[in-house]
Amino acid sequence: MLVDTHCHLDFPDFEEDFDQVLANAKEAGVDTMVTICTYVTRFEQVLNIAKAHDHIYCTVGIHPHNAASEPEVSVKDLCAMAADDKVIGFGETGLDYFYEHSPRDIQQRQFRTHIQAARELDLPVIIHTREAEEDTLALIEEEMAHEPFTGLIHCFSASKAFADRVVELGLYISISGIVTFKKADELREAISDVPLDRLLVETDAPYLSPIPKRGKRNEPAYTAFTAAKVAEVKGVSEEEFAKASTDNFYRLFSKTKRG
């Protein structure tokens, strides 16, 4: 069985066939999903999806794109929203300098707030980084030096050096469908030496559909294609990788209840 550690089931893309999407996931062997919060102002909608389904969990947080447009939350705010049993982490948060929809200083400030909340409740933080590798690593290292925290780099697409360093710092790496793309040789090389006990898989649905579904709306069922490619890169069977990545999920997201 597999876990889709990062999807967005509250997005309008799934409104018309939500139940079928869940059925497709079950048929593909994806028995657990984490629907990720990107706007705190929509958190209730995200939480309600998780509460309605035993096999779906959620997070609370503000995507770096939305750091300036959303209310600036405090550690206390985030921790209060994470009180429900179905909320298993904070984010997604982090730095995105590719689009820069929000000023960098606000992104960085909110990133630190999420990390502080993660420490407060001993929950993982889900980290987004794009075209911000140097600043992301510097901020993580600074916060780790102050006090350690747990978490993962979601939709990993950075360098091998970055991968090696975040693993050294105790974080996990989550792989999306990008790993299946023909031109993703650098990504496959970057994760080739990441220990098996630090890897997770995700879809980031409805985005980033893996080959052979590229060009179509992504959905949790397609986690299986990504997992198969990561297994190939790591030189292990699909069954071995499925077990390892699922074990990793339950180890990192300790608030979950394994069935």
| Segments of the chain scoring below 70 in pLDDT | 259
CATH 3.20.20.140 fits 2-252, yes or no: yes
pTM for this prediction: 0.97
pLDDT of residue 88: 98
Q: What is the pLDDT of residues 30-81, one digit of tens each?
A: 999 999 999 999 999 999 999 999 999 999 999 999 999 999 999 999 999 9
pLDDT of residue 257: 84
Consult the annotation and say whether 92 binds a ligand. yes
Domain segments of the chain as ranges: 2-252
Consult the annotation and say whether 128 binds a ligand. yes
Consult the annotation and say whether 8 binds a ligand. yes
- Residue of 198, 155, 197, 162 lying closest to 179 (CA atoms): 155
Consult the annotation and say whether 63 binds a ligand. no
Residue corresponding to tokens 């035993």: 54
